[in-house]
Structure formats: C-alpha cells, structure tokens
Chain A
Amino acid sequence: MLHLAALARIQLSDDEVDEFSDELSEILQYVEMLSNVDVTGLEPTNQVTGLTNVMRNDTVKDYGYKPADLLENVPAVQDNQIKVKRMIG
C-alpha cells in the first residue's frame, strides 16, 4: 500500500493505509468473479463507439485567451511561467 501510495504521489496516514488495504482486498475479492470468465476469441474494448484516430489540422488557432488569463488559477507564477519547488533535494 505504501508503494502504491508513492506511485500515486499521495501521502497516506497510518489509519488510511490499514483501511485501504482491507478495502482493496475486499474489492479484489469481489472482482475475482472475472478470472474464470471465458473470453476466448474476444479482444478488449477501449473505445465503445468505434471511433479511431480522430484527426485535425496541426495549425495554431486563436481562442482569444491571453497568457495571463490562463495563468489566473496557478498557485505560483514568475515571468508568465509556472513556478514549482525544487526537484532535486
């Protein structure tokens, strides 16, 4: 569970680790019913309406936004760029 939490970049409390471990086992037990289903000759479905490769022209389109508008919700901005904490400790 701690490995999964690290993969998902979530800090979990000890209580949450215990709780989610139990619940995950319960959910995995429930979905166990799929393991014996015969799916010979069937392919997995990733797209239900059968669309494939929806293309558009690779051109710049002006939607009328200014960079400042689009950065309005960003927690930290410097020189019109998103500022993050240092990556290497």
Chain B
Amino acid sequence: MADWEPVAAIAAKVQSGELKAVDLVEKSLAEIAAGEEFKAIIAVTADRARERAKAVDGGENKGRLAGVPFIAKDNFLVFGADATAASNILKGFDPVYQSTAIEKLEAEGAICVAKANLDAFAHGSSTENSDFFTTLNPHDKTRVPGGSSGGSAVSVALGFAPFALGTDTGGSIRLPASFTGTVGFKPTYGSVSRSGVVAMASSTDVIGPITRTVEDAELVFDVMAGVDELDSTTIERDRDGFVSEPLDVKGKKVGVVKEYMGDGMQPGVREQVEKAIEALKNAGAEVEEISLPSLPLALAVYYIICPAEVSSNLSRYDGQRYAYSYSDAKDLNESYMGTRERGFGKEAKRRIMTGTYVLSSGYYDAYYKKAQTVRTKLIKEFEAAFEKVDFLVGPTAPMTAFKIGENADDPLQMYLTDIMTVAVNLTGSPAISIPCGESEGLPVGLQLMAAQKADRELLAFADATERILK
C-alpha cells in the first residue's frame, strides 16, 4: 500500500521541483492497478491525468495542490471519463462541462486520476446498490466499505491517491469513512458548489473530502468552498478560510449525544467511542451529556424528504436528452416508461415510488410537509444544544462494516445504518468522522459535530482530537 505525504507537503515539493507531477500520477495509477480486486474504481482518467501532469510540471496551475492526484466519486462530471453515478441509465454519458469543485481543484494543480464506485445515484450505505459491482472493504473483503461514497473511501484507505471526493446526503461520506478507517468531512450545507454533480436530495446534498488526516481535509475543503453562481444555494466562505492550527481542547465544551449512546450500539463501538471521550476529558475538555429528544425521529424525517426529492431529481432521466434511451417505443410516453424501467436499478425505483407517493395529492401535508416541520423542531434542538456546548460527539454509526449481503434484502434495515448521520444533513450543520480505534479488527468512526457555518472550528477541533487519539 502506497504511503503519501501530507497533501500540502506534496504540493510544496512539486512547486519546488523536488517531485514531479508525472511521477505522482504514475504512482497513483500503479496503486489503482495493484488494488483492482477491491473494485473501488469504475474508470481511470489516465490519458487526461498524464497530460495535466505534464502541464503542471511545465509550470501551469502550480498552486496549493500542485501535482496531487485525487479520485472523484463517479457522480462528479470530470473530463476524460463517463459520469455514470454507477447507474445503467447514465452509461455512456460523456460530460461536456466539469463540476465546479473539479475546476477549483484543477486550478490549484490537483489531478483527477479515476472515478470511484458508489451506490447508484448515491442511494445506499454499502455500494451494493451500484448497478455495476460491489466494492470490498480493505479490512475484510467479505464486508462492505459503507456507502454511498464507498469507492472513494476505499481508494483513500488503500492509498490509491492522497484524497478523494464524496457526496453526503444522509451520511454517504461519513459512513464509508467510518467503515474504512479514513477521515470523512461533511461541511455546512451550501459550502461547496454542486454544479456538475448528479443530484440526489437537493435540500441535503453536500460535497466533501475523504482523506487520511483532518489536515488534508482542511486544505482540500478550503480550495473547493465558496459561492458559485452556478449553484444558487452556495454560501460565503469563512472569512479566515478553513486551514488552521489544531485548537487546544482544554476548556472546550463538548456534549456527548445521549440519544446516540443508547442501546443498539455494538459493544466494541461503544468501547472505542467511550475511550475517545475519556481521552478528550483527560486533555481538559469539559464533557457533559446533551439530549436532543427529537433525534430518534430524524431517520423517519429523512426517509420522507429524501425519496421525495429523489423522485423529483430523477424525473430528468427520461431518455430524450442524454444517456440511455429505450428505442423500441412507439410513442413518447412509452419511451419514457421503457427508458426508466430498463435504466433504473431497484433502489432508484423504490425511492421514486416512495417519493411519488409522499408528494402525491392528498398525502403531501401528512408526509412531506409534516416531515419538513419536524425538521424545524430538530434544527431548534441543535441550535439550543450549541448554545450550551461548542461541539457534539458520538459514534458515526452504531456498527462496524457489515457483511456483504447482510442487509441487502431488507431496505429498512439498510436505511437504519444512517441513523446517526442523517440528523446533520437535515439541520445543515457540519460533521466529520475520524478513526477511533478498532473493534474485532474493523475500524470504528468517531463523529464530531458543530453549529452551522462553524466548519473552521470543527476542523480545528477534529484535528486536535485526531492527535489526541493517536
């Protein structure tokens, strides 16, 4: 497995000429080839990556990420490979423009080398819903890597590249980070432009980095964040940026989320999370228990809002404007019906049906509107909590990586893996999963959360916590 220096150090060496971008790209491509059995990658963008590396070595874009290879989840539009979102319906979709996030990374000299596997359209927690194949967990090949950004997390865990991009709608960055022993950051809603990224649930979708360290996450996020006229939900960057020194946890008020520490957590996960909380206490943090009584409702709220928005976003895949089209239809309606029947996998269909139901006339108030109102209640409880404490802490998931096939036949059981991650998607607040030990040889993730727009502080706190736990 490849070792990579911190991202900032690699870029500095490429800037000075000590390292060559072309060599870094070759190293990354070689690692991808060596780790093929884990099925983390859908396509490599080798030709374009080599071209870009030559340009960087020649002095172009020699910025803060000069020559640093990275891997993008396959729901990002990147030149040099189809953007499939691991779905059959988007097979052969050749992007004519790139995601804003990719453009920003490239402007600083980063080089995309490959596209990573995911649950099709990011619908899932294991990559088992990919229309192509399931990615394997590097810690145990009979287990899932988590999802939906499973390919991205495995790429980083195996050292294919120093960082990867994911998207997080209900936990899709943090869960695979937790299952693979990597760092996964879900920023405040609106921090990074989603232009050029396949939409899932637009009121909760965010883009974030998966890295080996918090320090790397800070830099990558700092490059991507900011207002973009192509995504009207984007918010202003933090005035001071997101790269900072780890903060001193001494005297910081840290709330342990009561509802996340209840029954249903695997004993090994509890042990590691409690140990991490103890370590924070020993470092001088003022730890107290915080209750957010509506948290047990978060998953129910999410599983109304998410399919509703999914059914709306997936309506654009009609076979007329791009990608797969059912050609034997005799009229337009049959073309729609046949394209969507053949192009969508089971989970996409399931969510479209659920979403269509909760949005349909007569049910809208009882389901969608009610869910959006309970969402307000949850937001208010988070706001109240962050008046008392600086950060919240708990596990990222109640379990370690589960076996491939274990939850595949039970959608509700699969949805329950997101039980500790979805709340902050609904409130829009930032959260990060960092490794905190192992249980029976499998990584455990510690989730740290902060108030909306306190991303800089959260990253500095996570940086400090990571160092304390090492």
Contacts and interface: CB of A to CB of B under 8 A. Distances in A.
A26 interface: yes
Given A34-B370, A44-B373, A73-B93, A9 B320 contact: no
Contacts of B97: 63, 65
Nearest to A17: B353
6 contacts: A1-B353, A10-B352, A10-B353, A31-B371, A42-B380, A51-B233
A23 B367 CA distance: 16
Contacts of B340: 8-11
Contact of A44 (B235, B320, B335, B369): B369
A10 B349 contact: yes
Given A1-B353, A16-B349, A33 B329 contact: no
Chain B binding surface SS class: helix
A59 B325 CA distance: 34
Nearest to B352: A8
Interface of A: 1, 4-5, 7-12, 16, 20, 23-24, 26-28, 30-31, 33-35, 37, 39, 42-49, 51, 54, 56, 63, 65, 69-70, 72-76, 82, 84-89
The range of chain B's interface size is 35 or more
Chain A binding surface SS class: loop
A21 to B, nearest CB: 9
A73 B356 contact: no
Contacts of A89: 330-331
B439 interface: no
Contacts of A37: 294, 297, 370, 374, 377
B332 A34 contact: no
Contacts of A69: 96
Contacts of A75: 319-320, 322, 325, 327
Contact of B350 (A20, A45, A74): A20
